[in-house]
Structure 1
Amino acid sequence: MNSVYDPNELQSPAQRECDLLARLPTFLAYAKQECDHYRHILNDIDVTAISSRQSLTSVPVTRKSDLIGLQAKNMPFAGLNASSSTPSRIFQSPGPIFEPEHDSKDWWRMGAAFYGAGFRAGERVQNCLSYHLSPGGFIMDSGAKACGCSVIPAGPGQTELQLDIIEQLRPEGYSGTPSFLNILLQKGKEQGRDISSMTKALVSGEALTPSLQATFKATGISVSQAYATADIGLIAYETCPGSGLVVAEDILVEIVRPGSQELVADGEIGEVVVTSFNPDYPLIRFATGDLSSIMPGAGSCGRTNMRIRGWQGRADQTTKVKGMFIHPEQVERIRLSHGELAKVRLVVTNIDDNDQMTLHCEVSDAGRSDVDMARVAQTMKAITKLTGYVELVAPGSLSDDGIVIEDLR
């Protein structure tokens, strides 16, 4: 039998589907009782009759892109959390969007992704996602510990110190964004550091580009991807390179036509919508804003759950830069902070496998001398938590096409 984190990963697809759908009526009734948000949207729906994917489409989608406004009206979690459950931590992701965490083992369900990436009990993991306000560091941390690994809570940045730690503690693996792993490898090579102990990595938060995949393969590091969000935790994970991502256990994944409630045909690109059976934070038909598509059949790793092709774009203008979401509302807040800016557009590019963002600012000829580009850059960093560039452009050069964030990666 194949080695897996959870024996349920090997169950028949029909049994898994039957079990998940059978849980829907009771779970929806629980959410309706416990959560203000679901009490409202499920008010006129007979949840006892929802026991199939088709009947589930009668439940309105809750969109991640709406959370900023929903939470502003009902802080901190817009009533999506169970009233009888008290979170251990409250995070703030860019937006701002607030997310809860509870301390139960593997609350984010990330253990399967680490195990699928080859991590085993007794190994050390250098975790380089941020532990500051956003939950990324804690999400990875919990998954590594669920596999019996010891976690080095390094966070991002401080490259010299990170290399010192690798040489001293000899971690077998890395978790974090692929771009920062590349930075560590490049700097380590330049300085002649011995980082040969790291032979595996689980990356998330950014696209794993073909060029980075080739770089990591050349250095002898086996790299796997995890698709997770700050709201849901693990959605899908890679076990065999090039075979797509296996959907995690204990969630229902639908692929719907963006902006609608309708399911698309298998293989067609649509928005990833997830129902997570988390009693602390029930998320029912939660639209992530990410695009993907279902792959036919099971993969070669022995796990039987459905597979998706991974990230295939965004259903809205929200984008992710260096593992942090950037929302159109944030770009507008930057503009409003500087009255001399008539129109702005945030352009995201990738240069040498590093994400870069540049705020294009349309300013009248008369107002150019009033623009303090350094102050605009400071505002951008304060609002997005990321460093970017500012570029002044001529009046009328930004087209009236509704685009606030232009992702050119």
Structure 2
Amino acid sequence: MKGTVYKDGVVLPCEDLRIIEDGAVIVEGDTIVWVGKTRDIPEKYLSNDYARESVAGYSIMPGLIDAHMHISFGECESEEELSIYTSPEYRAIRAAADAEKVLFSGVTSSCDPGGPNNLGVAVRDARNAGLIQAPRMAAAGRQLTSQQGIGDNFPLWIGVPPSSMGVMVRSNAEIIQEIRDQVKAGVDIIKLAGSGLSSDEYAAFRREEIALAVDEAHRLTRPITIHARSRQSVRYAAEAGVDWIMHASYMDDHGLDLVLEKQIPICPAMTLLVNIIEANDLGISDISAGARRHAEEERDAAIKILTKFHRSGGTLICGSETGFSMTPYGEWHTREMGLFVKHLGLSPMEAILCMTKNSSMTLPRDKDKIGTITPGKYADLLVVDGEPHNDIDVLHDSSKIKTIIQGGKQMDRWRPANHKRIRLGFEKAHLYTRTPLKRTHFN
């Protein structure tokens, strides 16, 4: 067979808001060769050289792109689990298994903006070598941090462990050297920890330090992104010309104007914030009242400024921040689209564009080959039972995703969907007791 004709479905090309009723997509090898109305299929594709598959009653859309997914985090339940426990060797094997869960949630491409031991790069390469089933991936190394950045979350007397997601840079020379080291190690992107837990106001780096990192990354042909929740970090990032900004929860109007002027996309990753709050509602987390209040305040601030960003014509991209215990692999990848619809005022189709066309930029090697159903691009497709362009909740139900096609190939699981992974003792935080043992416990 020369290829396959998928016909009679509702096609969402995701080049814009256009919908093709009774549409068709034709695939040869790993590539889309034709898109249009079923009735307009060229004669050459109607021969017996092409398999024909009717998808009447279904929608055909591009595979989803999760722009913020940490494949090496292992669904960590604490900072210690993320940064200290578990060997690099075990983390790599675990990440390979977790990557398949991501793929079968409908995510055919993803960006991993930083993690320990260069594991994102390893998973990317294993996928490209055909060793594992996973989304196409772009990967950063450890995120460059100062003492005020999200990459340094331990007390001063401990510092940044070499097994953590961050790497401490203490001077301009160290910023440059770390970027050069990461480029040599094969990263696709550079990430800065531009803000941290200590303030919603100030940045983790000075303006000129961020500008230096941007200049060096771009000189070495690598995009650079930044974790920037605070007001100052967003402004500095926009002034320096980063390629996209993560979060921007406390962006002010001045920062908003700069981001819009520079046409810099924002990846809010609100899913993590909302899931932190809801996990606490369910009684499965032990965050303090103050941490809960801060998460609610950040959520509300993000909704307010990002709604304004969207209404002003800003570009939003979708990332789930999968990898934490609040955002396990295969579970919450599509929720960001729903939050965009519910809180930021996007239509379902506009939200889908955020997780297809808009998010393609976060995979620099593949950005011109993914994200839309366009002749010449990779045949990364989803066949969906329902109309996600009218009801975004359809995509939250993985049972509605009937077929996942990556590079023209219909994907089948290598592991059963209900396969249970056991968390081993060395992966977990080591608690002696949950409360001090007192004599009154025995009364």
Q: Same fold (TM over 0.5)?
A: no
User: Using CA pairs below 8 Å that are at least 6 residues apart, which structure has the higher relative contact order?
Assistant: 2
Normalising by structure 1, what TM-score? 0.30
Normalising by structure 2, what TM-score? 0.28
Question: Which structure features the higher share of strand residues?
Answer: 1
